[in-house]
Structure 1
Amino acid sequence: MVFNFRVYKKQSPNGKITMYLGKRDFVDHISGIEPIDGVFVMDGDYQDRKIFGQVVCSFRYGREEDEVMGLNFQKDLYLASQQVFPPPEKQETSKLQERLVKKLGDNCYPFTFTIPPNAPASVTLQPASDEEGQPCGVHYYVKLFCGDSDTDRGHKRSAVSMNIRKVQYAPSKQGKQPCTVVRKDFMLSPGELELEVTLDKQLYHHGEKVAVNVSIRNNSNKIVKKIKAMVQQGVDVVLFQNGQYRTSVASMETQEGCPINPGSSLQKIMYLLPLLSSNKDRRGIALDGQLKKQDTNLASTTLLASPDQRDAFGIIVSYAVKVKLYLGALGGELAAELPFVLMHPKPNARGKLVQADSQADVEMFRQDTIMEPEADGDRFD
């Protein structure tokens, strides 16, 4: 039986070291992160040298154009670092590594890196249209280089690096249906205004409409003049004490059914669709980590095993629906919030989106023909 598969390839500028990875998205299962397994091919002239490998998490928290007088708004965290040649005596290899070693010859060696379980997710903050340079956010890359030790900076000619992403996929089960009830009473006025907000489910996939069920019971003597519903994206840059902010990524305002007079009630469903395409010009919106400059989407919700396990160099993303009732200049407002989860379903081996399971093995791509690689690190297909 012949197994054919896709890989990513990147070569050092001098052509002496070539890295191969079977994928560039590595899944965080909360309990652990998929190991980064690949191989590299080394030129025969390097047989008497040492090759080191590293997994680097690059956290940029400021614009490159603001880096003056020695300031640097970027931190590089070395999450894994080890010598990959000469290779260790005992090393477990995956099926992909075994097949690549068999195909690429005697100068091909496997490597495997393990990322710590609480490493931050790949997130990019959308820059303004006039900004240049690397955008703020958390980025990952795998690096192989020739040197005397793992702290040796080496030379760019004999080093190769490839961008990867740490991603999370939606859990397989829905949580409890979100629901909240808020009430407001008024000084020198009898009765109260009640607002009940319910979502049809807790977990949404990117591209799905969020159905917001709004129920209003007006037992006060105030008048509800307008209703507004919005999806807010919450971004928490953990490094900064005041690094939390919210941005509306979808909103809907209506006066249908209004005014709601004293003693009246109203029940309606409002549909919201949070998409990046309607927020292209909003600076600071969190996006899923990008490989090169490909299209992406709004960042997925960050799932944590515990709120205390937030990495200091991470960006935590959350979503909530907020509904506001406007009562006029003297009446003020009444607002209710409901958090929900927005994520991608897990893709299967052929790239089709399916529900994520707990710790499913990722099967290798199987295609009709073996593809030859390109030199810039893109998938050859």
Structure 2
Amino acid sequence: MTVTFRVFKKGSSDGRITIYLGRREFVDHVTGSDPIDGVVHIDKEFINDKKVTVQLICTFRYGREEDETMGLCFKKELTLAEMVLFPEGGESQPPPSRLQERLLNKMGKNTFPFTLNFPMHSPTSVILTMAPGEVGEPCGVEYYIRAKIASTTDKNRESMVNMAIRKIQYAPTKPGRQPCTVVRKDFALTPGELELEATLDRQLYYHGDDIKVSICVKNNSQKIVKKIVVNVVQCIDVAMFTGGHHTSRIFRVETSEGCPIGPGSSLQKQFILYPSARFCGKSGVAIDGNQKGDDATLASSTLLADENNRDIFGLVISYSVKVKLMLGAIGGELAAELPFVLMHPKPNMRKMMKADTLSFNNSQDNEEPLVDLGNSMQDGLRMEPLRRRNV
């Protein structure tokens, strides 16, 4: 069986410079992130008077592109890491990985390996959904690997290519405590109090899981509970601005079943919630970056090593379930909030490589691979060309 590895490839519009990466998703482990390793190839170019650089770019758009007028820009572009590939500056470089070695052997001359690292506290890739008919770039945080070749004598001669990547987080191996809360409300002119106990079945959920909420209402007051409302709320904190906060209702259940709950009565009830980006249908909801259509999922909860650190920037995502007891216009409401974590499970890399290898071997009888860099039956590489996008 031939073991194959995907290699993502993207070239500039003039074909002078090309980026090769073994993957486009890099994991943030809270205490550190996976390094970005790849190669840059210069196609048929005499580069003695050229300068070749590769950069890790983070773009943060915090306003709509159509609202940018009179030179006002709602987009910040940050260069988080940079490496000069040619001419060599004498900087110490880590040894090339196995993928880089094979690419260097295959491409030959004018091929340069690079390794870039995410800085601490850099945000994960998140974008906000756009309203129907809205054009332009979506708000959120996106990452690119940018490779440039420029002439040292003529600054107007420059070729550049951007390849989009994602920085992601996976769910922790140990979930936290089961969320549970008890809230009470008393009234000024009447004796007794209203008690609400709400509990989730667990603290950690994966995308696509159902959320079970159990409530227990004890009405020892003279008020009447007329309706129960349960919401799944997504909270977005913009860490680069003071007071930047946005909430979106992902899922809502409103019921009068079991109501009214009169004085001296009680009620126990369970709700099943289905939070999903597919059924949300609203703008301004945070989803995982660079995902569209049916593959789009809600943005994962952001894990932080230190929530009080002021060096954090970007978007911080959190989720909670809010339960409200509606008492009418005069009585007001009683609300309880239960925070939870929504993330993707950590994948099994061995199973992913085996599945990709089997699918590639089965497709060899029907179609020819785009590019095959494997000279050995034990180690093959195939290219996935990417379409260009102007950024």
**TM-score, with normalisation over the residues of structure 2?**
0.87
Q: State the 1:348 CA deviation.
A: 2.7
Q: State the 1:304 CA deviation.
A: 0.6
1:212 & 1:364 partners in 2: Cα distance? Answer: 37
| Maintained 8 Å contact 1:177/1:200 | yes
Q: State the 1:147 CA deviation.
A: 2.6
2:198 & 2:17 partners in 1: Cα distance? Answer: 58
In structure 2, what residue type is equivalent to 1:321? Answer: V
Would the alpha carbon gap of residues 2 and 99 (structure 1) be closer, same or farther in structure 2, given more than 3 Å must change? farther
In structure 1, what residue type is equivalent to 2:321? Answer: V
Q: State the 1:275 CA deviation.
A: 0.6
In structure 2, what residue type is equivalent to 1:132? Answer: V
The answer to whether structure 1 residue 5 and structure 2 residue 5 are counterparts is yes
Q: State the 1:40 CA deviation.
A: 1.7
1:121 paired residue number: 124
Would the alpha carbon gap of residues 27 and 313 (structure 1) be closer, same or farther in structure 2, given more than 3 Å must change? same
Q: State the 1:242 CA deviation.
A: 2.9
1:320 paired residue number: 320
In structure 1, what residue type is equivalent to 2:203? Answer: Q
| Maintained 8 Å contact 2:121/2:312 | no
2:35 & 2:155 partners in 1: Cα distance? Answer: 25
| Maintained 8 Å contact 1:208/1:273 | yes
In structure 1, what residue type is equivalent to 2:178? Answer: Q
Would the alpha carbon gap of residues 326 and 293 (structure 1) be closer, same or farther in structure 2, given more than 3 Å must change? closer
Which range is displaced more, 248-257 or 102-111? 102-111
Of all paired residues, the percent bearing the same amino acid is 52
Q: State the 1:160 CA deviation.
A: 1.3
2:133 paired residue number: 130
2:31 paired residue number: 31
1:94 & 1:363 partners in 2: Cα distance? Answer: 20
Q: State the 1:145 CA deviation.
A: 0.4
Where in structure 1 are there 5+ consecutive unaligned residues?
A: 353-361
| Maintained 8 Å contact 1:50/1:147 | yes
| Maintained 8 Å contact 2:7/2:384 | no
Would the alpha carbon gap of residues 104 and 232 (structure 1) be closer, same or farther in structure 2, given more than 3 Å must change? same
2:120 & 2:239 partners in 1: Cα distance? Answer: 17
Q: State the 1:245 CA deviation.
A: 1.9
Q: State the 1:227 CA deviation.
A: 0.8
2:220 paired residue number: 219
2:330 paired residue number: 330
The answer to whether structure 1 residue 72 and structure 2 residue 82 are counterparts is no
Would the alpha carbon gap of residues 107 and 30 (structure 1) be closer, same or farther in structure 2, given more than 3 Å must change? same
In structure 2, what residue type is equivalent to 1:269? Answer: Q
1:301 & 1:320 partners in 2: Cα distance? Answer: 10
1:211 is paired with a residue of what secondary structure? strand
2:121 & 2:200 partners in 1: Cα distance? Answer: 30
Q: State the 1:340 CA deviation.
A: 0.5
CA deviation digits over 1:282-325, x for unaligned, max 9? 22111111168784111111111111235564011110000000
In structure 1, what residue type is equivalent to 2:124? Answer: A
1:298 is paired with a residue of what secondary structure? coil
Matches within 5 A, 1:1-381: 3-48=3-48, 49-87=50-88, 90-147=93-150, 155=157, 158-280=159-281, 282-290=282-290, 295-309=295-309, 311=311, 313-349=313-349, 366=357, 367-368=360-361, 371-372=370-371, 373=383, 375-377=385-387
1:179 & 1:204 partners in 2: Cα distance? Answer: 15
CA deviation digits over 1:224-281, x for unaligned, max 9? 111111100101122332321211100111111111121111111101111111222x
Which range is displaced more, 36-45 or 52-61? 36-45
1:179 & 1:295 partners in 2: Cα distance? Answer: 32
Would the alpha carbon gap of residues 129 and 153 (structure 1) be closer, same or farther in structure 2, given more than 3 Å must change? farther
| Maintained 8 Å contact 1:6/1:371 | no
2:331 is paired with a residue of what secondary structure? coil
Where in structure 2 are there 5+ consecutive unaligned residues?
A: 372-382
| Maintained 8 Å contact 1:56/1:79 | yes
1:140 & 1:34 partners in 2: Cα distance? Answer: 14
2:380 paired residue number: none
Q: State the 1:85 CA deviation.
A: 2.4
Would the alpha carbon gap of residues 56 and 218 (structure 1) be closer, same or farther in structure 2, given more than 3 Å must change? same
1:358 paired residue number: none
In structure 1, what residue type is equivalent to 2:117? Answer: T
| Maintained 8 Å contact 1:193/1:218 | yes
In structure 2, what residue type is equivalent to 1:244? Answer: H
1:241 & 1:106 partners in 2: Cα distance? Answer: 50
In structure 1, what residue type is equivalent to 2:325? Answer: L
CA deviation digits over 1:8-47, x for unaligned, max 9? 1001122121111111111100010110111122224233
1:363 & 1:166 partners in 2: Cα distance? Answer: 24
* RMSD over equivalenced CA pairs, Å: 2.5
| Maintained 8 Å contact 1:126/1:283 | yes
Would the alpha carbon gap of residues 174 and 289 (structure 1) be closer, same or farther in structure 2, given more than 3 Å must change? same
1:183 & 1:225 partners in 2: Cα distance? Answer: 17
**TM-score, with normalisation over the residues of structure 1?**
0.89
Would the alpha carbon gap of residues 83 and 63 (structure 1) be closer, same or farther in structure 2, given more than 3 Å must change? same
Would the alpha carbon gap of residues 185 and 347 (structure 1) be closer, same or farther in structure 2, given more than 3 Å must change? same
1:103 & 1:312 partners in 2: Cα distance? Answer: 41
| Maintained 8 Å contact 2:231/2:321 | yes
In structure 2, what residue type is equivalent to 1:220? Answer: S
